[in-house]
Amino acid sequence: MGLVDRMKYENREKVFKELLGKKYSSLEDFDIRYEPMEEFLLIDIKRLVLEGNINRAEDTLFSAIDKNKSLNNMFIAGEFYTMLMDMTDDELKEANFSRREVLSGLQEIKEIYSGYLKELDNLPK
């Protein structure tokens, strides 16, 4: 694994450990299967980020979570914030976003799902 791949993997692990807690050592602990509409949401969010529309992508994410606070939407949030963690501060600034906003958004997702995460203990492994 190259240095860039390793850094991206480490960012992904950091994001999901923040969301899921340190109890879950790997995303392999979960069987993540997106429904077609969730796939479209993830694609749309990634497209918006790649176009530099991070604020709009974040609004789209939170709107989806407001409509459906599902475990899958939490994983989509994790993918979104992983993408942002992989960006440099200059790239974020160019898109009118900041590292502080990334961390703040991640914390907000964690708070939204805090009660929901307690239910994860009952999921089969």
- The count of other CB atoms within 10 Å of the CB of residue 84 is 24
Question: What pLDDT sits at residue 32?
Answer: 81
**The two three-digit tokens of residue 64, written as one number:** 């989806």
- Sequence-distant contacts of 20-26: CB under 8 A, at least 24 apart: 20/117, 20/120, 21/117, 24/120
Residue predicted with more confidence, 39 or 115: 39
Mean pLDDT of 56-67: 98
Mean pLDDT of 66-85: 94
Q: Phi/psi zone of residue 87: left (φ > 0), alpha (ψ -120 to 50 degrees), beta?
A: beta
For the stretch 97-121, pLDDT in tens is: 999 999 999 999 999 988 776 666 5
For the stretch 4-22, pLDDT in tens is: 344 456 777 788 778 877 5
